[in-house]
């Protein structure tokens, strides 16, 4: 749930509780005020009616309300003397509404020309059910209005307030330790976000430093190994030149040489990878992938013929990609060599150039490879251990560096392994 929706729904819920309570208080306060004002009005009318009665005593004969708002009733002096003014709610038939409606009534008693009278004054009153329903509608309207306002405010204000936060998240999402970009959090004036930014920046910086020193170490180590390796291999070559070696001695030398050679290849592959990851291959040019593949195939012709592999190419499209030329050569030749060496003798390689995709397929073992592992360093299927297991890892590192997608597919029907490069 988004923070925005979370706060909004809490606001809506709390308002749902607060507004009825507030409405109740409001209702009774208003009602009280209305009664108060009506009673004041009745009191005033009482004085006016009594004054009128002193001037024109005939009106005291008006014993029903009829069209008027007052009525007199003669009463015993004792009762009248004991009588105190009372206000009360009662019902009265209203012609216009054709029903009994509540009215406010003041009952009082007074003395005129030696007689005592009860005087009843009425005034029409707020209909409570109407008031309640009007109030209810008003409140419902108010509630909806409030929630809408809050939503809009949230959208406008909170979204704005959280802008640096979402900016930071977005930057983090796209940040890569081995990427070329430095991490710059979006600017903000809010203390909490400044704190968050500086904390994240520190964390990332320490990660970058660690990563850099690790990479540096790999590169330095690989570098420093070159000379001792060269000495070792050369000394063994000198030793092998000796004329009278026993077969056993020669076998030892051969084995030592092979292992040093393997180490040399591993070392140079690791060095290459760390160089690629260090972005030491800068300048990109438009590389014609089709042409490059054909050139590489020409270099590999003898091996292809030796293994009796047939190659089919389908040029649906001329692929021109922005790549570093050297890396493109390594990437494509690794994929081609992979297709040759993991092929079965007399097998087939199909190369397709289609819209934005280069697909290299080869026959091979009738078994799907683990796509999560084949691009890992030092992954070896059931192959002999003499391979470095770095060819595809290098291919992937280059693909990442060149912003290409390298993927693997397997067709279980024809036992075809395919590698695709997508721009």
Which residues are at the interface with other proteins (CB under 8 A)? 223-224, 226-227, 229-235, 237-238, 240-241, 245, 247, 250-251, 253-254, 257-258, 261, 264-265, 268-269, 271-272, 275, 280, 299, 301-303, 306, 326, 330, 337, 341, 384, 386-388, 391
Min dist. Cβ of residue 277 to other proteins (A): 14
CB closer to other proteins out of 83 and 379? 379
Count of C-beta atoms within a 10 Å radius of residue 343? 20
Which residues, 6+ apart, have CB-to-CB distance to 300 below 8 Å? 333, 336, 337, 340
Cα–Cα nearest to 292, from 244, 327, 246: 327
The answer to whether 184 and 34 have CB atoms below 8 angstroms apart is no
Min dist. Cβ of residue 375 to other proteins (A): 16
The answer to whether 280 and 326 have CB atoms below 8 angstroms apart is no
Min dist. Cβ of residue 231 to other proteins (A): 5
Residue 222: C-alpha distances to residues 217, 229, 267, 272, 326 (Å): 8, 10, 6, 10, 20
Structure tokens at 298: 């020409």
Give CA–CA dist 335/339, Å, rounded.
6
Using left for φ > 0, alpha for ψ between -120 and 50, and beta otherwise, residue 415 falls in left
CB closer to other proteins out of 101 and 329? 329
CB closer to other proteins out of 62 and 235? 235
Min dist. Cβ of residue 181 to other proteins (A): 23
Give CA–CA dist 336/419, Å, rounded.
10
Min dist. Cβ of residue 319 to other proteins (A): 23
Min dist. Cβ of residue 347 to other proteins (A): 14
Q: Where are the beta strands (DSSP E) in 206-335?
A: 285-288, 310-315, 320-323
CB closer to other proteins out of 355 and 384? 384
CB closer to other proteins out of 261 and 407? 261
The answer to whether 391 and 406 have CB atoms below 8 angstroms apart is no
CB closer to other proteins out of 147 and 233? 233
Min dist. Cβ of residue 302 to other proteins (A): 4
CB closer to other proteins out of 248 and 372? 248
Give CA–CA dist 343/341, Å, rounded.
5
Min dist. Cβ of residue 368 to other proteins (A): 22
CB closer to other proteins out of 183 and 419? 419
CB closer to other proteins out of 15 and 245? 245
The answer to whether 301 and 387 have CB atoms below 8 angstroms apart is no
Which residues, 6+ apart, have CB-to-CB distance to 372 below 8 Å? none
Residue 117: C-alpha distances to residues 3, 47, 107, 413 (Å): 72, 14, 11, 115
Min dist. Cβ of residue 273 to other proteins (A): 11
Count of C-beta atoms within a 10 Å radius of residue 120? 20
């Amino acid at each position: 749930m988004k923070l925005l929706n979370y706060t909004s729904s809490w606001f809506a819920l709390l308002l749902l509780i607060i507004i009825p309570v507030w409405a109740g208080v409001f209702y009774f306060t208003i009602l009280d005020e209305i009664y108060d004002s009506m009673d004041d009005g009745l009191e005033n009318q009482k004085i006016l009616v009594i004054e009128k009665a002193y001037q024109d005593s005939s009106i005291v004969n008006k014993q029903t309300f009829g069209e008027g708002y007052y009525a007199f009733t003669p009463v015993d002096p004792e009762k009248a003397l004991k009588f105190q003014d009372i206000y009360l709610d009662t019902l009265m038939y209203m012609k216009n509404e054709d029903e009994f409606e509540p009215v406010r009534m003041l009952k009082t008693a007074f003395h005129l020309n030696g007689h005592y009278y009860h005087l009843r004054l009425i005034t029409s009153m707020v209909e409570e059910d109407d008031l309640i329903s009007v109030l209810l509608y008003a409140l419902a309207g108010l509630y909806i209005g409030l929630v809408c306002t809050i939503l809009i405010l949230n959208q406008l204000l909170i979204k704005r307030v959280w802008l640096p936060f979402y900016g930071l998240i977005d930057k983090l999402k796209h940040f890569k330790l081995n990427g070329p970009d430095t991490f710059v959090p979006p600017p903000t004036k809010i203390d909490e976000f400044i704190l968050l930014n500086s904390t994240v920046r520190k964390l990332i910086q320490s990660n970058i430093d660690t990563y850099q020193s690790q990479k540096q170490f790999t590169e330095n180590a690989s570098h420093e190994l070159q000379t001792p390796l060269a000495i070792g291999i050369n000394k063994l070559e000198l030793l092998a030149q000796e004329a009278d070696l026993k077969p056993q001695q020669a076998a030892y030398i051969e084995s030592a040489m092979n292992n040093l050679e393997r180490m040399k290849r591993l070392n140079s592959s690791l060095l290459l990878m760390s160089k690629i990851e260090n972005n030491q291959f800068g300048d990109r040019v438009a590389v014609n992938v089709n042409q490059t593949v054909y050139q590489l195939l020409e270099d590999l012709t003898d091996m292809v013929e030796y293994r009796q592999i047939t190659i089919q190419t389908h040029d649906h499209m001329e692929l021109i990609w922005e790549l570093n030329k050297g890396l493109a050569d390594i990437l494509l030749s690794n994929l081609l060599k992979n297709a040759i060496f993991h092929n079965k003798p007399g097998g087939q390689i199909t190369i397709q150039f289609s819209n934005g995709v280069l697909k290299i397929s080869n026959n091979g073992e009738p078994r799907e490879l683990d796509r999560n592992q084949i691009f890992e360093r030092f992954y070896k299927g059931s192959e002999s251990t003499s391979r470095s297991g770095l060819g595809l890892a290098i291919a992937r590192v280059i693909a990442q560096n060149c912003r290409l997608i390298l993927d693997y597919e397997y067709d279980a029907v024809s036992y075809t392994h395919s590698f695709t490069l997508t721009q």
